[in-house]
Structure 1
Amino acid sequence: MFERFTDEARQTVKLAMENARRLRHDRIGTEHLLLGLLEQPGTVSARLLNGHGLDHGRASAAIVQAVGAPPAGDLDADALESIGIDLSAVREKIEAAFGPGALDRSPSRDHRGILVSGRSIPFGPRAKKVLELSLREALALKSRDIRDGHILLGLIREGEGLGARILADTGVDLAALGTEVRAEIGGPPRQRP
């Protein structure tokens, strides 16, 4: 399915994974897809969401309020510093050797128990549903590709995940937003049964 995604839609998924990792969540949820959409200011989705008063910072704060803040790592840094280890210098050297963010990834093992780099975060069931619905929205609008707007339509249509809840709790009219997205990306308004 990802081969039909435009660059912006692929970037949404990539940013969703990065946001899940940053928040230290063990799966990608609808809330992370929402953050991925908001993190791309030049896209239809971000522009429309911003027009409804929702930006990345406000959505992130709503997620932290709903599920809690990521655990703090300052105690470990303080302990290392107290025995003369400069954690900043260690991080700098490790990232120079293994790439930016190397320490932010949890180690993982393959099926034989061997350590592998670059842990992938799985999609939660609601996020999978959003991506499936984005394909359905693209097909319904007779689009040959899946755009960021289709992902937003999938998020709206799924309607039960934390992403949709954040939209509703921040006062976004989901029906109006869906109509605006369809007008922007082309296609007639979807008829509800």
Structure 2
Amino acid sequence: MFERFADGARRVVTGAEAEARSLRHEYIGTEHLLLGVLAQPGDPAAAVLVRAGLDAESGRRAVVRLLGGPPGEVDGAALAAIGVDLAAVREAVEAGFGPGALDGPTGGGRRPKRGGPRFGARAKQVMVLSLRAATGRGDRRIEVGHLLLGLLREGNGLAVRVIRDHGLDLADVEREVESALAAAAA
């Protein structure tokens, strides 16, 4: 299916994977795809959200607020608020137990994961809906706008929650994205 993806849409998918890794999430969800879209602010469809004030930074903050970020981000701020220097704690632990001692379990009979985060069920559905959006319009390639339409039409993922929480009406965004796709095709 990825052979039908235009360069911008491929960047969205690779960006979504990078976001999932960066946040240490074990899957790629609709929220990661949304962050991948927002990382393409020059794309006419992504610009619909950016013009409304939902950019990559505010999108990432919303996702972290809803799901959490990399381990230690929130904990570090909470500990600093009560006077605990997390960097000093890490340094002391690593001095006694070696570098990376706090980076997570390595044993316990668990096999290390192979590859990167996998697409979750909703993200897979977004891909299907993106393909349908493109073919329904008679477009030969899947563009960033088709991915955004897929996110909107999936309707239940965290991406939709982020968009709604930002005060945007899904139907209005969908109409604007459709218009942006039509203008780009003309």
Place the TM-score, normalised by the shorter chain, in its bin: 0.7 to 0.9
**Match of residue 79, structure 1, among 69, 79, 92:** 92
1:68 CA displacement: 1.8
Residue in structure 1 matched with residue 52 of structure 2 by the alignment: 52
Residue in structure 2 matched with residue 168 of structure 1 by the alignment: 164
1:52 CA displacement: 1.5
Q: Is the 8 A contact 1:28 1:122 kept in 2?
A: yes
Q: Which moved more, 1:167-176 or 1:12-21?
A: 167-176
Report the count of equivalent residues: 163
Matches within 5 A, 1:1-193: 1-72=1-72, 77-79=90-92, 82=95, 119-186=115-182
User: Aligned Cα RMSD in Å?
Assistant: 2.7
Distance 2:14 2:92 in 1: 34
Q: Is the 8 A contact 1:16 1:33 kept in 2?
A: yes
1:126-173 deviation per Cα after TM superposition (whole angstroms, max 9, x unaligned): 000001100000011110000000000000000100001110111111
SS at match of 2:63: helix
Q: Is the 8 A contact 1:15 1:36 kept in 2?
A: yes
CA 69–120 in structure 1, closer or farther in 2 if over 3 Å, else same: closer
Structure 1 unpaired stretches of 5+: 91-103, 108-112, 188-193
SS at match of 1:186: helix
Q: Is the 8 A contact 1:138 1:150 kept in 2?
A: yes
Q: Is the 8 A contact 2:149 2:174 kept in 1?
A: yes
Compute the TM-score of the two structures, normalised by the length of structure 2. 0.78
Compute the TM-score of the two structures, normalised by the length of structure 1. 0.75
Identity of aligned residues (%): 45
